[in-house]
Structure 1
């Protein structure tokens, strides 16, 4: 079945098989948060234990869970974190600037670090604005395109909510443009914290409009 990234709470996960990495996307919680289970070389990593702990634990299954990465401090992205960590023994990671607001963090992350899951490596990209410690995770597929997990910093149609704060918006749009769009090619596929996926190429023409509207 062709991967589309379309998921609904209580529905079937969407599974994407890359050469060295399997991505499983599921929608959880009343805010339809996306959680992503990555599997490579017999290891698994979860991006955002957002809600519905039993759904996430069942998704992990018997293969075990090495790591949970929380993309940012907002509570809808970590409601299931403590239960998932307790059930699996996974290490909990988040950026140092958001870690104090997240219930359990075993290791702080910083810009440019790499997190491994089996044979795959994910680069931490710090995007300041939605929260002080928001991050994206970049997987450079050796056999294909780049894959980017953006949390709530980038969606189809715009950057994340900065609640009318002009300084935060300027920081976020600048980081997203410089660290993502200026660096990565159009075929880069990105996976946001809510809703449908997109590519940088599909969104790139709208960057001037986003900047001009201020949100």
Structure 2
């Protein structure tokens, strides 16, 4: 079972602020779920969760628009927050004193019989991760891969070369039919994005 809640707010970094709509994904069953990226509106997310148990709130990275509802949601549903520790510097810009549970590459987070394998995919942010659910034929890509190309790398703590390497080595080997559920905008598939790798490389240089 995959649910999506779209929430709206702002993304701020390097002195700029932008209006954004974020995809919040609920993955699991009718009894329990994992929340992927608690963005902007803890009450709206909790309402969609309903009476299901939240096993974990997983942050694909620590840009403020992906974590700004994490603390409030954790308090509402009593779930731990999981984040790759390479994003500590970004996390502290929002939560200087809030602890989280460190995520590791290859770790499996599960809810309702669905297993999500953590793929560390730095580039958009140092601690960016994607979550691969083979039984669902899906990967939750955060801001690493979008419908149309890689996530932005023009701001602090990001690297175009690194994100391309992450996509090439961690995402493109997944089955072509794998649905890519993104942090913003429409979903896509690995097969739809794979042919464009050379275009991204050419565009980046």
Same fold (TM over 0.5): yes
Structure 1 residue 33 and structure 2 residue 22: aligned?
yes
**TM-score normalised over the length of structure 2:** 0.87
| Residue range with higher mean Cα deviation, 145-154 or 33-42 | 33-42
Determine which of 150, 165, 168 is the counterpart of 1:174.
165
CA-CA distance at 1:169 after TM superposition: 0.6
RMSD value, Cα: 1.8
Structure 1 residue 83 and structure 2 residue 72: aligned?
yes
Partner in structure 2 of residue 200 of structure 1? 190
Partner in structure 1 of residue 203 of structure 2? 213
- Note the residue ranges of structure 1 that are not aligned, 5 or more in a row: 1-21
Count of matched residue pairs: 189
Distance (Å, rounded) in 2 between the aligned partners of 1:34 and 1:198: 14
CA-CA distance at 1:105 after TM superposition: 4.2
Contact 1:93 1:105 in 2 (8 A): no
Partner in structure 2 of residue 19 of structure 1? none
CA-CA distance at 1:46 after TM superposition: 0.3
- Note the residue ranges of structure 2 that are not aligned, 5 or more in a row: 10-19
Structure 1 residue 58 and structure 2 residue 47: aligned?
yes
Distance (Å, rounded) in 2 between the aligned partners of 1:128 and 1:71: 10
Q: Deviations over 1:77-106 (max 9, x none)?
A: 011111101111111101111145333443
Contact 2:23 2:185 in 1 (8 A): yes
| Residue range with higher mean Cα deviation, 113-122 or 86-95 | 113-122
In structure 1, the residue corresponding to 2:50 is in which secondary structure?
Answer: helix
Partner in structure 2 of residue 4 of structure 1? none
**TM-score normalised over the length of structure 1:** 0.83
